[in-house]
Amino acid sequence: MLNKAILMGRLTRDPELRHTPSNMAVTSFTLAIDRDRKGQSGERQTDFIDCVAWGRQAEFVKQWFTKGMLAIVVGRIQSRNWEDRNGNKRVSIEINVDEVSFGETKKSRDANGFSSANSYDSGSQIRPEGFDSGSQMAPAPSFDLSVGDSDFAELDDDSDVPF
């Protein structure tokens, strides 16, 4: 069976970080994704997709993403049954996030008038889960987010990426 979703949209609000009783980090956020076609009234239609990230991925989302930012999410669709305050049975469909990436460069966000309280700090690095300084890990390619007028980044050293 195959269950894989790839989405690109803007966060509708700042991500909410919580912890489970076992202290596992959980972040929930919603992506607004415009449909390709306009509705019968000629207006663009938008879907609002709930997403849930766990562990280090949850902490990463909370630290680096804020309302309005463009995000690319890879994950799997899952349903969850729950009961509301009135005892009615409900079903929620959400994306369980496996990967999340920036959908635009900091330069293009700034050019469009978007500024973030969690602005990018070029000195910060987040290590992949399970990484320790003694591990023999090849350096990951990184991107210089300040080069050229294009929205596409060019490969450079790994000092310009937060991970």
| Amino acid identity, position 141 | P
Q: Please report the beta strands in the chain, taking only residues with DSSP state E, as ranges in sequence order.
A: 5-11, 16-19, 25-38, 44-54, 70-83, 89-102, 142-144, 154-156
pLDDT of res. 72: 96
In order along the chain (163 residues), what is the average pLDDT of each group of 10 residues?
95 96 96 89 91 96 95 96 93 95 83 53 37 40 42 49 54
CA distance 97 to 5: 9
The string of pLDDT tens digits covering residues 30-70 is 999 999 888 788 888 999 999 999 999 999 999 999 999 99
pTM confidence score: 0.65
CA distance 52 to 95: 6
The strand pairing partners of 52, in sequence order, are 28, 96
Note whether 67 and 13 are within 8 A (CB). Answer: yes
Q: Which residue has the tokens 């409900």?
A: 90
